[in-house]
Homo-oligomer: A and B are copies of this chain.
Amino acid sequence: MPPQRRIDVVFDSVKRLQRIGATANLVNLLQKQHPADLADVFASLPDRNRRSVFDTLLDHNSRLAMESLAELEPEVGAAMLVDHPPDRLALLFQDLPSDDAAALLDNLPDDLSTSVIDLMRKKESGEVQHLLEYDDQTAGRIMNPNVFALAEDLTVGQAIEELQRSREVEMVFYVYVVDARRHLVGVVSLRRLLLVSPETPLKRVMTSDLISARVDTDQEEIAREVAAYNLLAIPVVDEENKLVGIITVDDVIDVIKDEATEDILRLAGVSADEHVLTGPFESWRKRLPWLGINLVTATLAAMVVRQFQATVEQVVALAALMTIVASMGGNAATQTLTVVVRGIALGELTWSNSRRVLGKETLVAIGNGLVLGGVGAGIAWWLAGNPYLGGILALAMLINLIVAAVAATLIPIALRALKIDPALASSVFITTLTDVFGFFAFLGLAAFFLGRI
């Protein structure tokens, strides 16, 4: 967001040219942009302008328009197409890579996407339908079925000739080798083909020990493998080890970004598919349930306080001090929760070391509780003029920090074991837990030692 970004300048010009109706200049400017930059421009435009600018480009350069659409989140891209007639969409979709077409079709209304698929050329619609049969977020769904493979009985020279003939396959850097029944048997890099004489059989230069993914592998697992083993692409095979597609590193980068966004948003109690530019009504609809849950849990915390109303009535300073205990617990829990959830996502937290992590978090909580409880006791003494009240605050804070650490470690680990996204243990739940427990510990101790304070 630095003020000088080139894309901001383009964006301002687009808005201006559209406002004054200078279509020729607008098309001219749009055509000079990279599809990824155009996607940024579309994403930044208000809903009402976005479609009209897109339609202008679509009329003059449909290829570029569709390429830029493929760079957007599919639900955003699909929303820009809903008003076009099915036959036009069919023409546009059959020229797209089938993984991009599948992602867009999956986000169109059901009846529209059915008509579009019916109107597409048979080859392309078959590919797209096949992709849509795989579950969301699996290798099968995100792979490109258009993968370059060669028969194992070719020579290197023949392989190079094949490569020269197949100009349209995107981003070739590995050549996969298959047997007569299309089972994946090996891989050879483009570079290696250059280094050996043309008569060498492919079999002799290929590596047969290669990493592949099954169609039903989760996309997060694929991202982890591509990242760990520094791959540029991973071949995808079906249940019988037949080669059916390829996932390239650029798609993996999108997965990594999406998964990180999902974790960040879920931790904060926001739907995984919300974006900063999601419309106000939709954002409201998506956030309200989380805040509704929080209203319920906050009411629970308030009811705990109400239980001790008699105690608070006698020592009204408790009302001010209890908020300190709750606030510290909430923030400490958020720290632990975040470190643990991120550790799970990065694969650093495994079963083997989860006990060690629990021990560590407990130790950290005790350390923080002793130091901050001590300071807090001083603050309470100063605010309320009573040393015993300080002692109670310190003890409640220590207990609450330990509870926060244990809960914020164990809940995400348990969720993961139950195959639920650990990031759903969002701060909404954890902070309420520490509110409830903080109020209970502090006011309970205060009620118990009421004679002293």
Contact = CB atoms under 8 A, between A and B. Distances in A.
Interface of A: 1-3, 5, 7-8, 11-12, 34, 36-37, 40, 43-44, 46, 71, 160, 163-164, 167, 171-173, 190-191, 193-195, 226-230, 232, 249-250, 252-254, 256-257, 260-261, 263-265, 267-270, 274-277, 279-281, 283-284, 287-288, 290-292, 294-295, 297-299, 301-303, 305-306, 309, 312-313, 316-324, 326-328, 330-332, 334-335, 337-344, 346-354, 356-357, 359-360, 363-364, 367-368, 371-372, 375-376, 379, 383, 413, 416-417, 419, 427-428, 431-432, 435, 439
Which secondary structure characterizes the binding site on chain A? Answer: helix
Given A44-B348, A323-B305, A232 B249 contact: yes
Nearest to A287: B335
Copies of this chain present in the complex amount to: 2
A350 B298 contact: no
16 contacts: A12-B352, A164-B195, A171-B230, A227-B253, A252-B253, A253-B256, A265-B338, A275-B348, A277-B349, A280-B360, A280-B367, A283-B364, A291-B368, A299-B379, A301-B327, A302-B320
B327 A435 contact: yes
Q: Which of A173, A299, A301, A348 has the largest number of chain B CB atoms within 10 A?
A: A299
Contacts of A320: 302-303, 305-306, 309
A60 B347 CA distance: 28
Contacts of A302: 320-321, 323-324, 383
B190 A367 contact: no
A350 B250 contact: no
Given A163-B194, A291-B332, 18 more contacts: A1-B344, A1-B351, A3-B351, A11-B350, A36-B228, A173-B191, A260-B264, A261-B342, A274-B339, A277-B357, A280-B359, A280-B364, A288-B371, A291-B368, A295-B328, A295-B372, A306-B320, A323-B439
Contacts of A8: 350-352
Contacts of A34: 228-229
